[in-house]
């Protein structure tokens, strides 16, 4: 037959575990819902940050593109006013020469060769 001590221990365990389970299971449900809510909140915040960074990147790209287009239009206007690409390049060369502090400057000839110096240093 059955041992009365084992039956008594099982009965006491059942009497204690059933109320504990009835109390713990709803608490665990609340706990898991809270964790799930925190995870959804973290995901929403992360998605918001990503959307903000993407919008800033698009704005910076649009600004850079507008600046590049503006510079290209300005260069085209200057080029057209100076008689085309050759005149514009000559203008840029003159501007570069004006900004340099070199004591010796080689100027290309029609053949593309530099003019040799007749007098390098004046005495």
Residue range 10-66, pLDDT digits in tens: 888 888 888 888 888 888 888 899 999 999 999 999 999 999 999 999 999 999 999
Tell me, yes or no, whether 85 lies in a domain: yes
CB contact set of 88 (below 8 Å; sequence gap of 6+): 75, 78, 79, 82
pLDDT score recorded for residue 6: 83
Tell me, yes or no, whether 109 lies in a domain: no
Tell me, yes or no, whether 119 lies in a domain: no
Tell me, yes or no, whether 114 lies in a domain: no
Tell me, yes or no, whether 84 lies in a domain: yes
Tell me, yes or no, whether 76 lies in a domain: yes
Average pLDDT over residues 64-93: 89
Q: What's the farthest any 2 CA atoms get from each other in the chain?
A: 132
Tell me, yes or no, whether 18 lies in a domain: yes
Number of domains within the chain = 1
83: alpha, beta or left, given left = phi > 0 and alpha = psi -120 to 50? left
Tell me, yes or no, whether 73 lies in a domain: yes
Domain of 13?
4-99
The model's pLDDT over 91-114, given as tens digits with 9 standing for 90+, comes to 888 888 788 777 766 666 677 665
């Amino acid at each position: 037959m059955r041992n009365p001590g084992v039956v008594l221990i099982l009965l006491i365990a059942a009497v204690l575990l059933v109320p504990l389970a009835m109390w713990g299971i709803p608490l665990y449900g609340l706990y898991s819902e809270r964790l799930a809510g925190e995870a959804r909140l973290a995901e929403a915040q992360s998605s918001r940050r990503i959307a903000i960074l993407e919008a800033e990147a698009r704005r910076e790209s649009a600004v850079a593109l507008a600046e590049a287009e503006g510079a290209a239009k300005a260069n085209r206007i200057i080029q057209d006013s100076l008689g085309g690409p050759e005149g514009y390049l000559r203008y840029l060369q003159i501007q570069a020469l004006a900004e340099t502090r070199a004591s010796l400057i080689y100027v290309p000839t029609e053949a593309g060769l530099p003019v040799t110096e007749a007098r390098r240093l004046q005495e």
